[in-house]
Amino acid sequence: MNTPRTRVPRRPVHGVLLLDKPLGLSSNDALQRAKYLLRGEKAGHTGTLDPLATGLLPLCFGAATKFSHLQLDAAKTYQARLRLGSTTRTGDAEGEVIRRRSVAVDRDAVQATLLRFVGASQQIPPMHSALKKDGKPLYEYARAGIEVERASRPVEIYSLTRLDDPTSCENDELCIEVSCSKGTYIRTLAEDIGEALGCGAHLIALRRTGSGQFGIEQCFTLEALQEMAEVDRPACLLPIDSLLQGVPQISLGAEDAGRFLSGLPRRGDWVDSALAAVYASAPRALLGTAQVRAGQLIPQRLLSPLELSQTTMSTIK
């Protein structure tokens, strides 16, 4: 007879956990483990990180999920390791090698090649990706041996540099650091760099070290969370408005704050802005986001009264 599983009690948890995702876990698997450890009722991640990649994965809990789209659009920074001289069917180390070529490139050639990729360009998403076609991820077509047409997408590489770490880059390996726009596939970039060098390449390791205003040094691992006492884990969360760093702030008095939370626009002497973080002035608490146009504060995404009371009480504690 099977023993019934004990149901884990959930609780309202609000904030942002910066997780150092381990190798081999999907973003959703990592999210579910973190959600279990924090006993959170509601959570979501801010875009997928491939199972073969490690590093920074911002996880939003509770009311923070309302603003997770801001991280989806944020610039990303990666450290990647390429194997020169061979291309694979998947563009990474999991796929079978389909072509081998000799490697005869010097430091100057590598530097010149990397510089060619800096700036705006069009990139065709790889078949082995989670991008969907007719409701099905591309990698499912690829596993079935089906190649489907993919439209190119605009991406931008802000910087691309070589990392000269003799302990990690040996033989025919090339280590790079990439700062790029959302939607950039580093696997495809690795293949393109290999072709530009004339020897081919595939991705053998990838680590995300930055996402918007967040850095890898702020992250917690699942192991570290598990070793903590349960009561200490919520302290690892950043406040909801950490997602709104650099956004203009507007404070409202009690009456205007109440009307704003009801979805009513407010008028005031504010500078036009596509996005503003709106707070109640006393006690100071995030109410949501708004657009400011011609002196009118137009609500966008708002905390519910329950979320507001929960986040205000957690701040007071």
Provide the annotated active-site residues: 50
- Tokens describing residue 300: 């966008």
Q: Where are the beta strands (DSSP E) in the chain?
A: 15-21, 43-45, 53-61, 76-84, 86-88, 97-100, 119-123, 132-133, 136-137, 153-162, 173-180, 201-211, 214-215, 249-252, 266-267, 273-281, 284-293, 296-302
For residue 129, give every residue at least 6 positions away whose Cβ sits within 8 Å of its Cβ, in sequence order, or none. Answer: 137, 138, 139, 185, 187
| Cα separation, 300 vs 277, whole angstroms | 10
Q: Which residues pair with 58 in a beta bridge?
A: 18
Q: Which residues pair with 289 in a beta bridge?
A: 277
CA 308 to centroid of chain Cα atoms = 26
**Other C-beta atoms within 10 Å of 70: how many?**
20
CB 114 within 8 Å of CB 120: no
Which of 245, 87, 254 minimizes the C-alpha distance to 172? 87
The angle that helices 107-116 and 186-197 make with each other, rounded to 10 degrees, is 130
